[in-house]
Amino acid sequence: MTTSKDSRRDFLKKSIAGTAVFSIGGVLPAFSPKSYGKILGANERIKVSVMGVNSRGNALVQNFANQPNAEVIHICDVDQLAAEKCISAVSKIQNSNPKATPDFRKSLEDKDVDVLVIAAPDHWHAPAAILACKAGKDVYLEKPSSHNPNEGEILLQAAARYKRLIQMGNQRRSWPNVAAAIKEVHDGTIGRPYYAKTWYTNNRGPIGIGKKVAVPVHLDYDLWQGPAPREDYRDNIIHYNWHWFWNWGTGEALNNGTHMVDLARWGLGVEFPTKVTSAGGRYRYQDDWETPDTQMINLEFENKSMISWEGRSCNGINNEGSSVGVIFYGEEGSVNIGGGNAYSIYDLKNKLVKEVKYDRPVDARNLSDPTQELDAIHIQNMFDGIKKGTPLAAEIIGGQTSTLLVQLGNIAQRCGETLNVDPKNGHIIGSKEAMKYWKRDYQPGWEPKV
């Protein structure tokens, strides 16, 4: 049996590369993950630790546990109740019980951990991923890749320095029909594409005015805040409403906009913009919600193309028949990708010329698990990257570029300016006011470093 970390990785690459081809959901018919556990020895499975398991993380960890070539060995959550619920669910899927490890940094000390899955709040994404890289772990990082542009750049430096794989949770890059739609755009089916419109809609209710109350006994609020400057505990922050506070969240733009802006950037073949504008605000309710609930971000690029993102958190009327999506407009037609694994192509006279459907439902508004089987493809792509050196579908350089686009939109929104941007690196040109939002303050001692 191998003992060192590097030799175990080599063993993984050789042994699992020769195993059976897995189905779209990761498990072949008539077999359960427990059955596969008997086929694949414990040393042949990729060992996974998951950080943040209350909502999206709970669905994600069960998906990892369902993969026959993986084993979840650590559950890291500052909420004891969330951890216990997740451990119970995972234990019913796989042969072994994962260990409760409230502080993920203790998990990083375990030489058996191969991958840290990060589904904690946004303010933790880059700092936790940086620590994982320094500990020699590969990372599956839910979007956005960073809370602010500066720490995103530090994350890229860490991944390069420590030679770690980071797969960003832009799962649609692995959805087969979505990838086929992007290929249609690249192949010139609609001529030269010059505009991509993206959107997200929902019917989110008010969050009220928070009251300072005692921290629940099952919650380590200090560790939950981690790198963020300390604020008193209030009763309308945890577990989901932190998205709408700048200290921890990044608003709807990065919460859901990142997914579709990433597809738009992929289809148009662009990286950094030249000009960014944003308009919007908290329009629907009067409460503690700080980020916009209604927002329009426009990004212009050197190749005479643009991306727009429309976010409507509190009015769920669909655009183009879908609650979320992206449309590419070209010189000869349009390609419409809705919230699912499907697409439609139209000519300039609005005639439907091609429609590719997917026979299983995808709920784009599901907060935790829009589609498990399609996301499993993304997980297996990362495993192939670890085992075989397969290119990642959503590697971190591109992931941070897409994240930066919507971060620039939020910066334009917060400073009230049109941003001029260097198309070579995405940096803001000539605005001291805008640069105040390029980085954030950290709780002393928590500053991310390579």
**Those residues with Cβ within 8 angstroms of residue 235's Cβ, 6 or more apart along the chain or in another chain:** 210, 211, 213
pTM: 0.90
- Which residue, 249, 238, 264, 255, is CA-closest to 313? 255
pLDDT above 60 for 17? no
- Give mean pLDDT, residues 301-312: 98
Helix (H, G, I), strand (E, B) or coil at 404: helix
Residues 230-257: pLDDT tens digits? 999 999 999 999 999 999 999 999 999 9
Q: What pLDDT does 15 receive?
A: 40
Q: What angle do CA 370, 371, 373 make, to 5 degrees?
A: 165
pLDDT above 90 for 294? yes
The backbone region for 445, taken as left when phi is positive above 0, alpha when psi lies in -120 to 50, beta otherwise, is left
- Give the span between the Cα atoms of 252 and 258, in whole angstroms: 9
Sheet bearing 352-356, strands edge to edge: 352-356, 343-347, 333-337, 324-330, 193-201, 305-312, 294-301, 275-281, 419-421, 428-429
- Which residue, 399, 381, 331, 350, is CA-closest to 152? 399
5-173+375-395 and 176-367+397-435, same CATH topology: no
pLDDT above 50 for 421? yes
- Give the span between the Cα atoms of 85 and 90, in whole angstroms: 9
* Kind and range of the H or E run holding 130: helix 122-134
CATH code for the structural domain at 5-173+375-395: 3.40.50.720
pLDDT above 50 for 275? yes
Confidence of residue 371 (pLDDT cuts 50, 70, 90): confident
Residues 168-201: pLDDT tens digits? 999 999 999 999 999 999 999 999 999 999 999 9
Q: What is the fold of 176-367+397-435?
A: Dihydrodipicolinate Reductase; domain 2 (3.30.360)
pLDDT above 60 for 4? no
pLDDT above 80 for 375? yes
pLDDT above 60 for 21? no
Sheet bearing 46-51, strands edge to edge: 99-100, 70-76, 46-51, 115-118, 138-141, 166-168
- Give mean pLDDT, residues 147-166: 98
Residues 109-128: pLDDT tens digits? 999 999 999 999 999 999 99
Domain ranges of the chain: 5-173+375-395, 176-367+397-435
- Give the span between the Cα atoms of 437 and 136, in whole angstroms: 31
pLDDT above 60 for 10? no
Structure tokens at 187: 């192949």
pLDDT above 60 for 103? yes
Structure tokens at 35: 């059955």
- Give the span between the Cα atoms of 169 and 376, in whole angstroms: 11
Confidence of residue 95 (pLDDT cuts 50, 70, 90): confident
Residues 383-397: pLDDT tens digits? 999 999 999 999 999
- Give mean pLDDT, residues 278-297: 98
Q: What pLDDT does 284 receive?
A: 98
The pairing of beta strand 333-337 with beta strand 324-330: antiparallel
* Kind and range of the H or E run holding 73: strand 70-76
Q: What pLDDT does 361 receive?
A: 73
